[in-house]
Amino acid sequence: MDMRLPLKFTEAVPVQDRHQRALRELRVSVIDRCNFRCTYCMPADSLQGRGVFLPLEKLLTDHEIVDMVKAFAGLGVRKLRITGGEPLLRPGLPALVDQLASIPGLTDIALTTNGVMLPRLADDLFDAGLNRLTVSLDTLDPQVLAEMSGGKAKLAHILDGIKAAEAAGFGPLKINTVVQKGVNDHTIMDLVEYFRGTPHRLRLIEYMDVGNSNHWSEQDVVPNAEWRAAIEEKWPLRPVRSGNPAETARRFEYVDGQGEIGFISSITQPFCGGCTRARVTADGIFYTCLFSSRGNNLMPLIRHSEDPAALSREISAIWAARDDRYSEERGLPGHDRKKVEMYRLGG
């Protein structure tokens, strides 16, 4: 019997959490492995021993991901982001994107990548219907880049990835930069200058306390307000109204018309009030917050249920019970708990 959900799209049943936040965006991790070992995400010394990564048979199959995304779309999700680990390591990703692109209700499919495999895959991903790309790049200094990626990243490869995305036809990219005090902060203005005057939008991300293996400390964070002030001294900025209250980045444009820059300030200016994002790991665990300790395993319903509506009911019930406001409550007692790692969730 074909257990896949019907493709027919009926008007979404709106579902809201306990703070009246709708379910609008979904981030799906398609693999937890990565070819980098970024010290703020997946430090090499935290990966000792066997069984760190999911065996391939534990990953949701393409059909299962498509069925699950259909269920989310039926509950109001409009935007999908594919992430990882490094999502381009998943075998056959363009074919999966091709299927996701035809899901009724979805208006936008984006993907976040470290960029090094884009020269091989950008054309196929564009042809498959991927709408937007975010490329992560923390610095233009090859030595600092090597240190931050656990010795794995080469600047030329990431820049080649960006060129491949442009050549494939992708519009302006988002460029994600995690800023760590004393690590890459002395190189940030070079990055700002590099992307100023291009169509791409650099986004400076405050280093976050996701997971536990990066041993985050507040001392390692540079408040984004400091960058904004430093940038404005050289190039005046004005806010861009995006019209999307769920947007994580505060967007600005250069007054002289040389493009845009964004600031993601989860530590100093939390944005939980507008958070409409759900996350699912590559093995089907549903998390309602980036900083969750525990998730809900959807795999049994996705893989074994004979009732296609049961998955929607389960997602709906989990979302309705959602009370997360981690970033707004950071620092309160009980918040130094064990949390799921970033490379399992994908940001």
Beta strands in the chain (DSSP E): 25-29, 79-83, 108-113, 132-136, 174-179, 201-206, 237-239, 250-254, 260-264, 277-280, 285-287, 296-297
Q: What are phi and psi of 256, to 5 degrees?
A: -85, 15
Of the candidate residues 185, 324, 339, 345, the single one contacting ligand SF4 (CB under 6 A):
324
Q: Which is nearer to ligand SAM, 66 or 208 (CB)?
A: 208
Q: Which is nearer to ligand SAM, 96 or 311 (CB)?
A: 96
Q: SS3 of 346, please?
A: coil
Pick from 278, 224, 261: which is nearest to 83 by CA? 278
- Window 169-188: contact mask with ligand SF4 (x via CB under 6 A): --------------------
Which of ligand SAM, ligand SF4, none does residue 176 bind (CB under 5 to 8 Å by kind)?
ligand SAM
C-alpha distances in angstroms, 12 versus 22, 38, 70, 140, 308? 11, 38, 11, 44, 16
Number of helices (H) and strands (E) in the chain: give both, helices first. 11, 12
The sign of the torsion formed by the CA atoms of 305, 310, 314, 319 equals positive
Tell me how many residues contact ligand SF4 (CB under 6 A): 22
291 binds ligand SF4 (CB under 6 A): yes
Angular region, 258: left φ>0, alpha ψ -120 to 50, beta rest: alpha
Which span (7-15, 120-128, 237-245, 324-332) binds ligand SF4, by CB under 6 A? Answer: 324-332
Of the candidate residues 106, 111, 179, 290, the single one contacting ligand SF4 (CB under 6 A):
290
- Window 249-268: contact mask with ligand SF4 (x via CB under 6 A): --------------------
Q: How buried is residue 279: exposed, middle or buried, by Cβ count under 10 Å (0-12/13-18/19+)? A: buried
343 binds ligand SF4 (CB under 6 A): yes
Which amino acid would we find at residue 260?
A: E
Q: How buried is residue 202: exposed, middle or buried, by Cβ count under 10 Å (0-12/13-18/19+)? A: buried
- The CA-based angle 182-263-230, given to 5 degrees, is 60
Q: Which is nearer to ligand SAM, 25 or 314 (CB)?
A: 25
Of the candidate residues 327, 340, 341, 344, the single one contacting ligand SF4 (CB under 6 A):
327
Helix (H) or strand (E) holding 224: helix 224-234
Q: Which is nearer to ligand SAM, 15 or 192 (CB)?
A: 192
Q: Which is nearer to ligand SAM, 176 or 281 (CB)?
A: 176
114 binds ligand SF4 (CB under 6 A): yes
Which of ligand SF4, ligand SAM, none does residue 76 bind (CB under 5 to 8 Å by kind)?
none
| Residue 158 near residue 137, CB atoms below 8 Å | yes
Which of ligand SAM, ligand SF4, none does residue 210 bind (CB under 5 to 8 Å by kind)?
ligand SAM
Which span (23-31, 38-46, 161-169, 306-314) binds ligand SF4, by CB under 6 A? Answer: 38-46
Q: How far is the CB of 59 from ligand SAM (least distance, A)?
A: 15
Question: Given the rule CB under 6 A, which residues bind ligand SAM?
Answer: 34, 40-41, 83-84, 86, 112-114, 136, 176, 178, 205, 207-208, 210, 214, 342-343, 346-347
Cα 232 to the center of its chain, rounded Å = 28
The footprint of ligand SF4 (CB under 6 A) covers 34, 36-38, 41-42, 84-86, 114, 136, 271-272, 275, 289-291, 324-327, 343
